[in-house]
């Protein structure tokens, strides 16, 4: 009660009306979600295409090297760059990439290298009622919400009490007063500042992260200024750093934070993890991050050679070369020169055309310039060398039509599923004849169709589309990537919806999923526990059926 009165007085002293506060918070809609682990469109920031500015490096970064000198330096500096990481990791400070993580020795696939709690993490706006704010676990039971702000939800009294003590007692009065949705980025930055105020030493790990400030365009800085105003409406004045410090934190947050993903690899929230964020990006990464609740787990998904750089992917690498480059430059201020970007300048299956031969899965290079005056486009299939001759205008027209149908269907998926589905079927009819199976537009169309089919409980379609997606993912993503592994698990689930009783095929689907998931998820993760349980149940069912067949006395 007393707290409420104090807050009110403070709020009154501020000249902004409630309306203004709410507007600022609504306007300062979430800053783009970095590290691309979620596949929403929040990376589509409005910032212009900007050249990369030199990356400012912190003093601590400059101290680290990968040789014996690095070890000496690390010993003398206050804290290692990677706290509690696997000893097989080593740090180099590269001219063009800044702090970079390397393998000191060969590391096989499927190894956990870092397990880490976030410095700050919050649930996304759309997931607040589905996931516990404190532990990030999804619950089958309805979550209980904070009775005051009615905004945050918890799975247990314990979670609510611990969250209240740490953070919520400070935010709750403002949330109650504002009375509407507060973007996740604002909430996350607020929480980091609360933690900083209560434990200033802990904030050193955040202060050492890359800022990227000098590369941030003015237009984006204006958005950040709105964010600062929004945070100021929530945080008590004594906890609020200077505008400059808050701007730095926001810049760090944009470049270093990442989406926290759930069981199904879909976005749950956003968080800042000061160790795993040190990994640089590659469009063909050898590591991936999965989450258990809000614990980030970094694992190798491929064999890593000694002295090889360890990388994760910041964006969805289903996108073609140009889009990937654009997004990385816009949000992370660098030009990607990874293995895949090098190759795909020649042929990129994500934007390729299909081979004319029906039985060939080969790709035909997408024309460089559709506006060229040449009437016909001629190119060879990468696999069977069959010549494709097609009018340039035809390629352009079909691609545009597929794109439009995709947009149309996406705008009506929640209101008119049958029509959305019809549009997608048309998109396939038009696109299939010319676009490669891994073309990003066809993949997106399949993803949409799968979601619709699942919503409509049309398991037959859902199963066959998921299988097609899985096939495409095997080429688009590195093997053992979580997204491919999860898709394989989804195939098993779809099949079991279609044919719930034991069958060799169903068992094989689960075993295949388990094999893939075991690489990117830890043994005791909830995903693996659930797949193993499903396999056990299937096997028990099969033994039971066998015993019955052989006339055993089963009760
Ligand atoms: C999340 S941080 C990664 C760690 C960072 N290297 C550091 O010094 O702390 C992201 C920043 O690292 C740099 N970076 C990451 N991947 C890169 C790459 N493939 N090529 C060049 N720079 C990269 C960019 O400056 C980017 O904004």
- For residue 210 the two structure tokens come to 């890359």
Same domain, 204 and 137: yes
Same domain, 25 and 166: yes
Three-state SS for 305? coil
341 falls within a domain: no
Which DSSP helix (H) or strand (E) runs through 246? Answer: helix 243-256
Among 210, 212, 220, 254, the mutation site with the greatest number of ligand 1 atoms within 8 A of its Cβ is 210
Same domain, 252 and 219: yes
Which atom of ligand 1 sits closest to the CA of residue 34?
A: 1
528 falls within a domain: yes
What is 336-392 written as a DSSP string?
---HHHHHHTT--GGGPEEPSSTT---EEPPPS-TTSS-SEEEEEBTTT-PEEEEEH
500 falls within a domain: yes
pLDDT (0 to 100) of residue 373: 53
Same domain, 111 and 73: yes
Is the shortest distance between the CB of 278 and ligand 1 below 6 Å?
yes
Which residue segment(s) compose the domain that 275 sits in?
Answer: 59-116+271-315
Domain boundary among 261, 288, 323: 261
Cβ contact 12:168 at 8 Å: no
Q: Cα torsion for 455, 456, 457, 458, to the nearest 10°?
A: -120
Q: With left for phi above 0 and alpha for psi between -120 and 50, is residue 37 left, alpha or beta?
A: alpha
The model's confidence at residue 79, banded by pLDDT at 50, 70 and 90, is low
- For residue 228 the two structure tokens come to 């600062």
pLDDT (0 to 100) of residue 54: 26
Is the shortest distance between the CB of 251 and ligand 1 below 6 Å?
no
Residue nearest to atom 23 of ligand 1 (CA): 97
CATH of the domain at 504: 1.25.40.10
Same domain, 127 and 109: no
Is the shortest distance between the CB of 284 and ligand 1 below 6 Å?
no
361 falls within a domain: no
How many domains, in total, are found in the chain? 3
CATH of the domain at 69: 2.170.270.10
Task: Give the Å distance between the CA of 258 and the centre of ligand 1.
Answer: 13
333 falls within a domain: no
Is the shortest distance between the CB of 255 and ligand 1 below 6 Å?
yes
Specify the range with the lowest mean pLDDT, choosing from 120-134, 160-174, 538-552: 538-552
Same domain, 300 and 166: no
Which atom of ligand 1 sits closest to the CA of residue 210?
A: 9
Segment of 139-143, 264-268, 365-369, 489-493 carrying the highest mean pLDDT: 489-493
The model's confidence at residue 552, banded by pLDDT at 50, 70 and 90, is low
CA 546 to chain centre: 44
Where helices occur in 28-82 by DSSP H, the ranges are 59-63, 68-76
Domain boundary among 284, 299, 315: 315
71 falls within a domain: yes
CA 383 to chain centre: 33
Same domain, 44 and 169: yes
pLDDT in tens, 173-213: 999 999 888 999 999 999 999 999 999 999 999 999 998 87
Same domain, 249 and 295: no
Same domain, 290 and 165: no
209 falls within a domain: yes
Percent of the chain with pLDDT over 70: 84
Residue nearest to atom 11 of ligand 1 (CA): 332
pLDDT (0 to 100) of residue 226: 93
Distance CA 197, CA 189 (A): 12
Same domain, 110 and 173: no
Query: What one-character DSSP code corresponds to residue 380?
Result: E
Among 51, 332, 336, 338, the mutation site with the greatest number of ligand 1 atoms within 8 A of its Cβ is 332
Which DSSP helix (H) or strand (E) runs through 423? Answer: helix 417-432
| pLDDT over 60 (residue 161) | yes
Average pLDDT, the chain: 84
CA–CA distance from 310 to each of 34, 92, 294, 300 (Å)? 18, 11, 22, 8
pLDDT (0 to 100) of residue 181: 85
Same domain, 188 and 296: no
Same domain, 70 and 43: no
| pLDDT over 70 (residue 287) | yes
Is the shortest distance between the CB of 297 and ligand 1 below 6 Å?
no
358 falls within a domain: no
Q: What mean pLDDT comes out for the span 302-327?
A: 96
pLDDT (0 to 100) of residue 8: 32
Cβ contact 469:451 at 8 Å: no
């Amino acid at each position: 009660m007393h707290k409420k009165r104090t807050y009110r007085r403070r709020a009154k002293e501020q000249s902004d009306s409630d309306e203004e506060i709410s507007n600022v918070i609504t306007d300062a809609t979430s800053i783009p979600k970095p590290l691309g682990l979620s596949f929403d469109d929040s990376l589509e920031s409005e910032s212009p295409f900007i050249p990369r500015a030199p990356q400012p490096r912190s003093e601590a970064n400059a101290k680290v090297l990968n040789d014996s000198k690095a070890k000496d330096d690390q010993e003398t500096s206050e804290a290692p760059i990677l706290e509690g990481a696997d000893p097989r990791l080593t740090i180099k400070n590269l001219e063009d990439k800044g702090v970079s993580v390397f393998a000191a020795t060969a590391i096989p696939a499927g190894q956990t290298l870092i397990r880490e709690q976030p410095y700050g993490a919050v649930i996304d706006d759309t997931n607040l009622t589905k996931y516990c704010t404190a532990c990030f676990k999804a619950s089958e039971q309805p979550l209980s919400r904070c009775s005051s702000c009615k905004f945050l939800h918890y799975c247990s009294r314990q979670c609510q009490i611990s969250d209240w003590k740490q953070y919520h007692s400070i935010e709750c009065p403002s949330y109650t007063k504002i009375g509407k949705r507060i973007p996740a980025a604002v909430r996350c930055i607020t929480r980091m500042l609360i933690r900083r105020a209560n434990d200033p030493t802990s904030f050193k790990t955040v202060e050492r992260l890359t800022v990227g400030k000098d590369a941030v365009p003015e237009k984006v800085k204006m958005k950040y200024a709105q964010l600062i105003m929004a945070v100021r409406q929530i945080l008590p004045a004594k906890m609020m750093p200077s505008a400059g410090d808050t701007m730095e934190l926001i810049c760090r947050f944009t470049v270093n934070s990442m989406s926290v993903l759930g069981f199904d690899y879909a976005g749950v929230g956003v968080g800042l993890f000061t160790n795993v964020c040190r990994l640089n990006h590659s469009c063909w990464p050898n590591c991936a991050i999965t989450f258990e609740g809000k614990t980030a787990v970094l694992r190798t998904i491929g064999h890593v050679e000694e002295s090889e750089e360890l990388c994760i992917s910041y964006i969805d690498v289903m996108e073609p070369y140009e889009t990937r480059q654009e997004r990385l430059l816009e949000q992370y201020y660098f030009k990607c020169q990874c293995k895949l970007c090098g190759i795909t300048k020649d042929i990129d299956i994500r934007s390729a055309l299909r081979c004319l031969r029906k039985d060939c899965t080969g790709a035909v290079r997408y024309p460089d310039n559709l506006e060229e005056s040449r009437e016909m486009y001629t190119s060879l299939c990468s696999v069977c060398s069959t010549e494709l001759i097609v009018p340039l205008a035809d390629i352009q027209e079909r691609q545009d039509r597929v794109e439009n149908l995709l947009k149309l269907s996406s705008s009506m998926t929640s209101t008119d599923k049958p029509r959305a589905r019809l549009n997608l079927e048309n998109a396939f009819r038009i696109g299939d004849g010319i676009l490669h199976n891994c073309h990003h537009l066809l993949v997106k169309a399949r993803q949409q169709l799968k979601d619709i089919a699942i919503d409509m409980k049309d398991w037959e379609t859902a199963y066959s589309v998921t299988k097609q997606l899985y096939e495409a993912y095997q080429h688009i993503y590195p093997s053992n990537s979580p997204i491919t592994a999860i898709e394989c698990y989804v195939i098993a689930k779809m099949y079991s919806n279609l044919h719930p009783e034991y069958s060799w095929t169903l068992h094989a689907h689960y075993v295949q999923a388990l094999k893939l998931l075991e690489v990117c998820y830890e043994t005791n993760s909830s995903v693996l526990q659930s797949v193993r349980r499903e396999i056990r149940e299937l096997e028990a069912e099969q033994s039971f059926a066998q015993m019955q067949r052989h006339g055993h006395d089963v009760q």
